[in-house]
Amino acid sequence: MKLLVTGGAGFIGSNFVHHVLDTTDHSVVVLDKLTYAGNRASLDGLPADRFELVVGDITDAALVDVLVGDADAVVHYAAESHNDNSLHDPRPFLDTNIIGTYTLIEAARKHGTRFHHISTDEVYGDLELDDPNRFTEQTPYNPSSPYSSTKAGSDLLVRAWVRSFGLQATISNCSNNYGPYQHVEKFIPRQITNVLDGVRPKLYGAGQNVRDWIHANDHSSAVLTILDKGVIGETYLIGADGEQDNKTVVETILELLGQPRDAYDHVTDRAGHDLRYAIDSTKLRTELGWRPAFQDFRAGLEDTIAWYRDHQAWWRPQKAATEARYQEQGQA
């Protein structure tokens, strides 16, 4: 198959491209605008006969029409993805997440191209810390931020295009990812690179907020499974039973880097900060037979720390500008 992967120079998209080229015979065309979040270097060393990067915008209907028409399937990762940025400047989130998705599904409908839409568990809002429930495919949408509301909107567009126009689409909503190639603005890489730089990590509020962590490789294998065996029109939740509160994550990073577990500072909490996300991925596991490979969060974190220690040339160019942006936003 020839896959068109949007946002393939970003964190999860680039992990997916590496995974596909390593484990299948598919070829890949990446369409990526290379915003501040996209990084050409994340795609270095891929085989030229099976891989191509097209720099462009998913809202560019003429370009999208050609690329979608030429692909056997589209896997749509491209998005504005950072909650903090969405609180300070929501407009790019509407343009890319809503109009960009609309542009892609119009082209996929025209050409009859198989489409897989990547989304987040954040569309479901949050759970109380002591709630015994987890999100399932039946949980009502209740997004909190401009980021999650635009992702929810894009999911609903895809569902409507399936129902109204017979779009050959599936959707997945995944929990929080960690692993290589994640921008240093995000929680885990920001803490790791701060400690590597001798700077004390920053924790929003008391750090009780719980996220359900999954290694990006497991997200990739789940998406390939859905592309292969997923039922058109269906939504699949992707998660690896990795619930951890933010305080424990920071303390574990410090410990794994040989620092005292309490060597961090608290900063003002994010506005509207979701308390807890938790995914029930029973449907994906029982109906499509998927299993995560990384079951041990601490071991996965150790691998991720080693990657950031060994790939300083990849993240250093972004570090100072990222911290300056946090400073401007009052979250230094």
Residues tagged active-site: 121-122, 147
> Would you say 191 and 246 are in contact if contact means Cβ atoms under 8 Å apart?
no
Which CB atom, from 37 or from 74, has the smaller least distance to ligand NAD? 37
Q: How far is the CB of 269 from ligand NAD (least distance, A)?
A: 19
Q: How far is the CB of 261 from ligand NAD (least distance, A)?
A: 24
Chain residue whose CB lies nearest ligand NAD:
10
Report the 10 Å Cβ neighbour count for 208.
Answer: 15
Q: In this structure, what DSSP letter does residue 264 have? A: -
Which CB atom, from 93 or from 264, has the smaller least distance to ligand NAD? 93
Q: How far is the CB of 184 from ligand NAD (least distance, A)?
A: 11
Q: How far is the CB of 148 from ligand NAD (least distance, A)?
A: 9
> Would you say 169 and 161 are in contact if contact means Cβ atoms under 8 Å apart?
yes
Which CB atom, from 218 or from 323, has the smaller least distance to ligand NAD? 218
Q: How far is the CB of 312 from ligand NAD (least distance, A)?
A: 19
**Separation of alpha carbons 43 and 91, rounded Å:** 28
Q: How far is the CB of 258 from ligand NAD (least distance, A)?
A: 27
Token pair listed for 26? 């598919």
At 16 the three-state DSSP class reads: helix
Task: Specify the residue for token string 């577990």.
Answer: 261
Q: In this structure, what DSSP letter does residue 234 have? A: -
**Separation of alpha carbons 10 and 13, rounded Å:** 5
* Helix locations, 38-177, DSSP H: 61-69, 83-88, 91-93, 101-111, 146-165
Q: How far is the CB of 123 from ligand NAD (least distance, A)?
A: 9
Token pair listed for 308? 């950031």
Which CB atom, from 28 or from 31, has the smaller least distance to ligand NAD? 31
Candidates 130, 262, 296, 298; CA nearest to 208 is: 130
Q: Which pairing describes strands 114-120 and 243-245: parallel, antiparallel, or unpaired? A: unpaired
Which CB atom, from 9 or from 305, has the smaller least distance to ligand NAD? 9
**Separation of alpha carbons 172 and 226, rounded Å:** 8
Report the 10 Å Cβ neighbour count for 275.
Answer: 15
Binding site for ligand NAD (CB under 6 A): 6-7, 9-13, 31-35, 37-38, 57-59, 77-81, 96, 100, 118-120, 151, 174, 176-177, 183
Which CB atom, from 254 or from 279, has the smaller least distance to ligand NAD? 279
Side-chain-side CA neighbours of residue 317 (13 Å): 9
At 62 the three-state DSSP class reads: helix
Token pair listed for 74? 């589209």
**Separation of alpha carbons 9 and 34, rounded Å:** 7
Which CB atom, from 120 or from 194, has the smaller least distance to ligand NAD? 120
